[in-house]
């Protein structure tokens, strides 16, 4: 019988994202002692120690020349071959840009059902895995069952705790025997973007601005607060549409869906499409001059006032607290 | 160039989700249905490619009778004709992909364009699943697309976390559209009139001869937990800021 979980993860120059360790902690809970991690590319070998320490029983690093550049069809073939060789019951992928590209491709090859962007995983009474995933951008949650023989899940980053096991994963030498010449879609270049801005979907604190900020140059005020907090900057859609900030800042149902510990909504009214993207935040703080703005209904803390006065004062207070700590 | 665009009809993003306890689907009475926002970028990109390289844009959409409205709107934007796979029963992304792939196969194509994600189920998988069914390469979450129909080559920029990457692939292929790819046009009145006469072929799902048993089954939908009522601070900005900082530090313990 198929058993165990294959955790497929990306890595860059020997470093994995936190979500890799989150997936391993969940997998170890659901299939103790039967967790395999799979990574690709140059530097994959260096991730072995960390993946083992955070819950992989065995690690396979596909660092041959075929895997030097990402290919959705090539990497999917490799994962499908590893799955058959290991005969696992389930596969986990990170629900990031990399995993969301690869997971459905693998699910298609394996003729397996895929539940995307899961926020909770559990073992069901019938012994199979089940999941909870947001739908309608988090306006509702669906409990889903996957009835195909194999089950595929992608897990939303930044949700699950990580756990050090203090062990080392054993190496599993596996070669899918693929030739990169047969890969069709291949990454030829990676363009790094806007000056080291923290990635919103992985940020612990987000300071987000709306039309209430009134002009692009006024974003300085929010930047200063973000700097005091060590936060990433985000925005409502109209502000990104106006070009005040890059498109990548846009949060909401048609932008990024975020789940930070604290979300500061500054000069944002709280339209339903915006709220859909932030409902996974642990705390929402609203700063708005209109006491009737709908954002206050979604918030844990609110300040009714002029953001141009409140935000600088808040940045100063935060700096004072951090200095004392 | 023959371009197929897959279009899903979804509840308007302003929809307030209503459920009864134990429900596995939302209540749909009174909902306004629209084209999935990402599919508008897919349609627009198809139209621009046709304008540049010539050819035909065919819309394929699966769903119940109400889907015809979304199809007419896509035709009013400028698509040439459409295929409507008529389906009332529950399915999943794989069933949708199998049905859509079968129709794509019958139509023939140089390029298939979809949205990156449907904003109702949020699965973001139909594009890649169609690609696997048809043994095509894919590029997803695309911000920029360059197609060379003579060399049969595609060069696309796709979005990553805080970065992007260039993917090169041969045609035919599946491309999924992200916001930023283009600015979708509004249908003009003459085009809305013309769209009424364009061909919409109706194909019952059952006639496709595919397996329609879903693998991913929604057992229950729930609403997110309500947040406790907010602590609202008013008064002088400096005092409110000081109190907010204190609450975040001492009560929420997040700073
Ligand atoms: C299909 C569709 C999809 C959409 N998707 C998204 C999405 O993904 N994300 C998104 O954000 N929106 C989305 N929208 C837009 C959404 O409906 C709202 O229009 C938008 O969120 C409003 O942005 P805002 O809050 O910045 O601006 P406004 O609604 O104009 O709010 C500005 C706020 O600033 C406050 N303010 C003004 N001056 C000050 C001051 N000096 N100090 C403090 N407060 C001040 C005002 O009281 C007001 O509440 C979508 C809309 C549609 C139709
Ligand atoms: C009453 C009801 C019950 C349902 N129950 C379930 C269920 O139990 N389990 C489940 O998984 N799903 C269920 N669905 C969802 C339905 O089967 C979806 O159409 C299917 O899951 C498609 O995947 P997606 O929406 O996740 O698309 P995504 O993969 O997010 O969509 C990506 C892109 O694919 C294209 N696309 C997707 N769907 C279509 C379509 N129908 N026609 C044309 N193009 C399309 C669009 O271009 C879209 O932008 C139900 C739907 C209804 C109406």
Q: Residue B160 and residue A97: Cβ atoms within 8 Å? A: yes
Residue with tokens 């509004």: B186
CB B34 within 8 A of CB B139: no
- The pTM (predicted TM-score) of the whole model is 0.93
Within a domain: A293: yes
Tell me, yes or no, whether A150 and A215 share the same domain.
no
Q: Residue A101 and residue B138: Cβ atoms within 8 Å? A: yes
**pLDDT above 70 (res A225):** yes
Q: How far is the CA of A18 from the centre of ligand 1 (A)?
A: 32
Tell me, yes or no, whether A170 and A210 share the same domain.
no
Q: Which 3-state string (H, E, C) describes B24-51?
A: CCCCCCCCCEEECHHHHHHHHHHHHHHH
| Minimum distance, in Å, between the CA of residue B68 and any CA atom of chain A | 22
Residues in chain B: 255
Phi, psi of A323 (to 5 degrees): -70, -40
Q: Residue B216 and residue A113: Cβ atoms within 8 Å? A: yes
B218 → closest Cβ in A117, A144, A192: A144
**pLDDT above 90 (res A168):** no
Percent of all residues in chain B with a pLDDT value above 90, rounded to a whole number: 93
Q: Residue B238 and residue A313: Cβ atoms within 8 Å? A: yes
Grade residue B152 by pLDDT with cuts at 50, 70 and 90: very high
Over range A112-128, report the average pLDDT: 97
Ligand nearest to the CA of B26: 2
Over range A68-95, report the average pLDDT: 97
**pLDDT above 60 (res B142):** yes
Over range B76-91, report the average pLDDT: 94
Chain A residues in contact with B157 (beta carbon < 8 A): 191
Within a domain: A50: yes
Grade residue A248 by pLDDT with cuts at 50, 70 and 90: confident
CB contacts under 8 A, A 233-252 vs B, are 247-248, 250
pLDDT of residue B227: 83
Q: Where are the domains of chain B?
A: 2-208, 225-255
Q: At what angle do helices B126-133 and B93-107 cross, to 10 degrees?
A: 50
pLDDT of residue A158: 87
Tell me, yes or no, whether A131 and A48 share the same domain.
yes
Ligand 2 pocket test target in B83, B118, B179 with most atoms within 8 Å of CB: B118
**Could you tell me the CATH number of the domain that includes residue A310?**
3.40.50.1220
Over range B55-79, report the average pLDDT: 98
Q: DSSP readout, B155-213?
A: EEEEEETTEEEEEEEESSEEEEE-TTS--PPPPPHHHHHHHTTS-EEEEEGGGG-----
Tell me, yes or no, whether A63 and A204 share the same domain.
no
Phi, psi of B33 (to 5 degrees): -100, 140
Ligand nearest to the CA of B179: 1
The 10s digit of each residue's pLDDT in B4-53 is 999 999 999 999 999 988 899 999 999 999 999 999 999 999 999 999 99
Q: Residue B240 and residue A297: Cβ atoms within 8 Å? A: no
**pLDDT above 70 (res A314):** yes
Domain that holds residue A319: 195-324
Report the mean per-residue pLDDT for chain A.
95
pLDDT of residue A175: 94
Q: Which two tokens stand for residue A237?
A: 């859609």
pLDDT of residue A267: 98
Strand order from edge to edge, sheet including B2-6: A186-192, B163-170, B153-160, B138-148, B173-177, B111-115, B2-6, B56-63, B81-86, B200-204
pLDDT of residue B124: 98
Tally of domains within chain A: 2
Over range B66-92, report the average pLDDT: 95
The domain boundary residue, chosen from A116, A147, A182: A182
**pLDDT above 90 (res B225):** no
The domain boundary residue, chosen from A152, A182, A212: A182
Grade residue A301 by pLDDT with cuts at 50, 70 and 90: very high
**pLDDT above 90 (res B241):** yes
A277 lines ligand 1 (CB under 6 A): yes
| Most distant CA pair in chain B, distance | 69
ipTM score? 0.95
Separation between Cα atoms, residue B124 and residue B135, nearest integer Å: 18
Report the mean per-residue pLDDT for chain B.
96
Alpha-helix runs per DSSP H in B108-168: 126-133
Ligand 2, atom 4: closest residue by C-alpha:
B90
pLDDT of residue A196: 53
**Could you tell me the CATH number of the domain that includes residue A150?**
3.40.50.620
Tell me, yes or no, whether A122 and A219 share the same domain.
no
Chain B residues in contact with A276 (beta carbon < 8 A): 13
pLDDT of residue A193: 65
Tell me, yes or no, whether A48 and A72 share the same domain.
yes
Tell me, yes or no, whether A169 and A310 share the same domain.
no
Within a domain: A188: no
Within a domain: A190: no
B92 has a chain A CB within 8 A of its CB: yes
| Minimum distance, in Å, between the CA of residue B178 and any CA atom of chain A | 9
Q: Residue A116 and residue B223: Cβ atoms within 8 Å? A: no
Question: Higher pLDDT residue, A168 or A10?
Answer: A10
Separation between Cα atoms, residue A140 and residue B31, nearest integer Å: 16
pLDDT of residue B246: 97
The 10s digit of each residue's pLDDT in B169-221 is 999 999 999 999 999 999 999 999 999 999 999 999 999 999 999 999 999 99
pLDDT of residue A194: 54
| Minimum distance, in Å, between the CA of residue B82 and any CA atom of chain A | 26
Grade residue A197 by pLDDT with cuts at 50, 70 and 90: low
Over range B134-151, report the average pLDDT: 98
Grade residue A150 by pLDDT with cuts at 50, 70 and 90: very high
The domain boundary residue, chosen from A126, A158, A182: A182
pLDDT of residue B226: 84
Residues in chain A: 325
CATH classification number, B2-208, choose in 2.40.50.140, 3.40.50.1970, 3.40.50.620, 3.20.20.10:
3.40.50.620
């Amino acid at each position: 019988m198929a058993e165990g979980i294959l955790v497929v993860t990306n890595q860059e120059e020997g470093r994995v994202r936190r979500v890799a360790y989150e997936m391993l902690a969940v997998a170890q809970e659901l299939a103790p002692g039967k967790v395999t991690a799979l990574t690709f590319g140059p530097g994959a070998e260096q991730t072995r120690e960390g993946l083992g320490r955070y819950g992989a029983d065995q690690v396979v690093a596909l660092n041959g020349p075929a895997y030097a550049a990402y290919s959705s069809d090539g990497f999917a073939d490799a994962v499908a071959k590893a799955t058959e060789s290991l005969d696992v019951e389930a596969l986990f992928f990170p629900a990031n840009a990399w995993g969301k590209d690869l997971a459905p491709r693998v699910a298609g090859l394996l003729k397996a059902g895929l539940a995307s962007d899961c926020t909770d995983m559990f073992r069901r009474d019938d012994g199979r895995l089940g999941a909870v995933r947001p739908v309608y951008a988090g306006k509702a949650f669906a409990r889903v069952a996957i009835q195909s023989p194999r089950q595929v899940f992608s897990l939303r980053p930044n949700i699950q705790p990580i756990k050090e096991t203090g062990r080392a994963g054993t190496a599993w030498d596996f070669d899918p025997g693929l030739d990169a010449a047969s890969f069709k879609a291949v990454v030829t270049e990676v363009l790094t973007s806007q000056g080291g801005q923290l990635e919103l979907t992985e940020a612990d604190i987000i300071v987000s601005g709306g039309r209430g900020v009134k002009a692009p140059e006024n974003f300085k005020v929010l930047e200063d607060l973000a700097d005091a907090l060590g936060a990433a900057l985000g925005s409502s859609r109209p502000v990104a549409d106006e070009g005040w900030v890059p498109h990548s800042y846009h949060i909401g149902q048609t932008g990024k869906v975020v789940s930070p510990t604290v979300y500061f909504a500054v000069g944002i009214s709280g339209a339903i499409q915006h709220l859909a993207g932030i409902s996974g935040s642990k705390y929402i703080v609203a700063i708005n001059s209109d006491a009737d703005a709908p954002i206050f209904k979604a918030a844990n803390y609110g300040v009714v006032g002029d953001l141009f006065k409140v935000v600088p004062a808040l940045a100063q207070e935060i700096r004072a607290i951090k200095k004392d700590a | 160039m023959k371009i197929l665009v897959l279009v899903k009809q979804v509840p308007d993003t302003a929809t307030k989700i209503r459920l009864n306890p134990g429900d596995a689907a939302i209540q749909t009475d009174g909902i306004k249905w629209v084209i999935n926002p990402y599919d508008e970028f897919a349609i627009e990109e198809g139209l621009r490619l046709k304008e540049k390289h010539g050819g035909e844009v065919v819309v394929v959409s699966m769903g119940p009778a109400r889907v015809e409205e979304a199809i007419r709107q896509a035709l009013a934007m400028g698509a040439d004709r459409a295929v409507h796979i008529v389906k009332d029963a529950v399915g999943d992304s794989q069933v949708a992909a199998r049905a859509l792939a079968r129709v794509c196969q019958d139509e023939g194509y140089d390029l298939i364009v979809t949205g990156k994600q449907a904003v109702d189920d949020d699965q973001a998988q139909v594009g890649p699943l169609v690609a696997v069914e048809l043994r095509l390469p894919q590029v997803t979450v695309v911000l920029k697309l360059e197609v060379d129909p003579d060399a049969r080559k595609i060069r696309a920029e796709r979005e990553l976390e805080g970065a992007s990457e260039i993917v090169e692939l041969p045609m035919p292929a599946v491309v999924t559209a992200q916001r930023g790819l283009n600015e979708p046009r509004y249908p003009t009145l003459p085009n809305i009139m013309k769209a009424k006469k364009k061909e919409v072929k109706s194909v019952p799902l059952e006639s496709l001869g595919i397996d329609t048993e879903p693998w991913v089954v929604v057992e229950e939908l729930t609403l997110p937990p309500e947040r406790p009522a907010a602590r609202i601070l008013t008064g002088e900005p400096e005092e409110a800021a000081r109190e907010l900082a204190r609450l975040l530090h001492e009560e929420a313990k997040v700073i």
